[in-house]
Copies of this chain bind each other. A is one copy, B any other.
Amino acid sequence: MNKYVSRRAVATKRSAIRELLKLTEEPDIISFAGGLPAPETFPHHELAEIAADELREHHENVLQYGLTEGSLTLRRAVVEWLQPLGLRLSVDQILVTTASQQGLDLVSKAFLDPDDVIFCEAPTYLAALQTFSSYQAERIGISMDEDGMNLDILEQQIAVARQEGKTLKAIYVIPDFQNPTGITMSLEKRGRLLEIARREELLVIEDSPYSQLRFAGEMIPAIWSLDTDGRVITLMTFSKVLSAGLRLGVLFASDSDLMDVLVRMKQASDLCTSKLTQHMAARYINEYGMDEHLRMVRACYRKKRDMMIAALERYMPQNEGITWTHPDGGLFLWVCLPDEIDTGKMFPRAIENKVAYVTGSEFYPNGGGENAMRLSFSLNSEAKIDEGIRRLADVVREELAAKRVGASV
């Protein structure tokens, strides 16, 4: 049956993380693999009341088809919520999506022809790489510094790609508490990135799933708020701030021509997003407010990050050059092991020790990261984080010992 398969589908791998998620269903494995939000942060009592009320009192509306652009109720609520946070928006600059992943799909569908180049951080969000592949785009990874994408390398790579006659379309970045590294891009770099994009006539795709989850340090303005000529498209999601199960996100585009194309792509993809889930989010924002709720969510993740870093410090072998990031928000941190360790080859040993992570190389569009791994601190209880890191440190210790025995043989 393979002859029926499209070239784009051949180019699209199954997501390793989605496959790894199946491991999390085995109850004795402590998994730091999936980027699942903590279920204790879902405001389920409130959502239950809202859902029941919407279905009893407004069923003719919420159970019917809706506008492709998204419910006005939700778009207005998003404007009201984000305005005080420095994100200037109007309702017609917002497209409601089936969470950020559909935002990535629509952006790719709207703007990426086969072989078009999209620059992204290396490492970057695995499922974004998968989506860009599914439109046969060329993904060029730019390495990361402690304050975000290395923009000197970006400029070099742009020049090289231009010389090779390639069509350059966009730069994809996750500025806040990046997935997978937890790194945040500095304000200076955000400004310079936008300047480069303007000069080189590239779109900027700003993926912002975690920006509301800062639990340390000062808020840095979104690239969206620095944009003056409509080249930034920003993606946000309710998955990490309200619930992943609503499958709800918003895409911002201030250029009406670009928005028009994105709406057409959404029409062709799934007509519209559920009004029930849209109204659940909208009424939650309007009736309960996000401020207090997000304070709780941030406190929860801060505690878990602290616990994970404390456990890494306690259990990981010392003086081996093992490093990890100290994110100021989000769900993830990034661990680099000595070069001789391949976290892919180490993985079976981890599963044997009942602990899981995502291998670093999965996040690189053009190779790299073999000695790294992503750990998510969001889902597990503090006790499980401690126990899981203890197991993981044992795995690393065993792997180091095995390497050395191998090397001395």
Residues of A bordering B, CB below 8 Å: 1-9, 12-15, 18, 21, 34, 36-37, 39, 42, 44-45, 47-49, 51-52, 55-56, 59-60, 62-68, 98-99, 101-102, 105, 109-113, 116, 127, 130-131, 133-135, 169-170, 201, 203, 230, 239, 243-247, 255, 257-258, 260-261, 263-265, 267-277
Complex contact B245–A111 (CB within 8 A)? no
Contact of A264 among B14, B65, B258 (CB under 8 A): B14
| A274 surroundings in chain B (CB, below 8 A) | 245-247, 274, 277
Given contacts A99-B271, A246-B274, A271-B99, whether A261 and B48 have CB atoms under 8 Å apart is no
Residues of chain B lying within 8 A (CB to CB) of residue A101:
268-271
Residues of B contacting A268 with CB < 8 Å?
A: 12, 15, 101, 105, 127, 130-131, 133-134
List B contacts of A267 (CB < 8 A). 14-15, 18, 127, 130
Asked whether, in the complex, the Cβ of A64 is within 8 Å of the Cβ of B48, the reply is no
**Could you tell me the distance between the alpha carbons of A243 and B272 in the complex, rounded to whole angstroms?**
13
Q: Determine the chain B residues whose CB is within 8 A of the CB of A273 once the complex forms.
A: 98, 247
Chain B residues whose CB sits within 8 angstroms of the CB of A55 once the complex forms: 44, 47-48, 51
- The residue in chain B whose Cβ has the minimal distance to the Cβ of A10 is B261
Provide the bound-state CA to CA distance between A62 and B4, in Å: 35
Question: Is B109 in contact with A63, judged by CB distance below 8 angstroms?
Answer: no
Q: Which residue of the partner chain, among B9, B68, B130, B265, contacts A261 with CB atoms under 8 Å?
A: B9
- Whether B261 contacts A5 by the Cβ 8 Å rule is yes
Q: Are B264 and A9 in contact (CB under 8 A)?
A: yes
Residues of chain B within 8 A (CB-CB) of A65 are 21, 34, 36, 239, 244-245
The smallest beta-carbon distance between A168 and chain B, in angstroms, is 10
CB-based contact A270/B102 at 8 Å:
yes
- Starting from the known contacts A8-B109, A65-B239, A134-B265, 18 additional A-B residue pairs (CB-CB under 8 Å) come to A1-B230, A4-B258, A6-B112, A8-B113, A9-B110, A9-B261, A21-B65, A44-B56, A44-B59, A44-B63, A48-B52, A52-B52, A65-B244, A134-B268, A246-B274, A269-B269, A274-B274, A274-B277
Q: Are B127 and A271 in contact (CB under 8 A)?
A: yes
A27 to chain B, nearest CB (A): 14
Indicate whether A276 sits within 8 Å of B64 (C-beta atoms), given known contacts A48-B55, A109-B9, A131-B268. Answer: no
CA gap between A56 and B15 in the complex, in Å? 31
Contacts of A12 in B (CB 8 A): 264-265, 268
Chain B nearest CB from A365 CB (Å) reads 15
Q: Which residues of B contact A67 (CB under 8 A)?
A: 21
Q: Which residue of B lies closest to A136 (CB)?
A: B113
Q: Which residue of B lies closest to A105 (CB)?
A: B269
A169 contact set on B, CB distance < 8 A: 4
Give A169 to B1 CA distance when docked, in angstroms: 11
A133 CA / B111 CA spacing, docked (Å): 15
Q: A42-B59, A63-B244 are in contact. Are A111 and B6 (CB under 8 A)?
A: yes
Smallest beta-carbon distance A382→chain B, Å: 17
Bound-state CA distance A99–B273 (Å) is: 10
In the complex, what's the smallest C-beta–C-beta distance from A129 to chain B, in angstroms? Answer: 10
Q: How far, in angstroms, from A67 to B245 measured CA to CA in the complex?
A: 11
Bound together, the chains give a CA A272 to CA B276 distance in angstroms of 17
Q: Please name all residues of chain B whose beta carbon is closer than 8 Å to the beta carbon of A44 when the two chains form the complex.
A: 55-56, 59, 63
Q: A274: nearest residue on chain B (CB-CB)?
A: B247
- Report 13 cross-chain contacts, Cβ distance below 8 Å, ordered by A residue: A4-B169, A8-B109, A12-B265, A14-B267, A34-B65, A36-B65, A64-B243, A64-B244, A65-B245, A98-B98, A133-B268, A274-B277, A276-B277
CB distance from A42 to the nearest CB of B (A): 4
Q: For the complex, give the distance between the alpha carbons of A44 and B51 in Å.
A: 11
Measured between alpha carbons, how far is A347 from B79 in the docked complex, in Å?
37
Residue pair B134, A64 in contact (C-beta under 8 Å): no
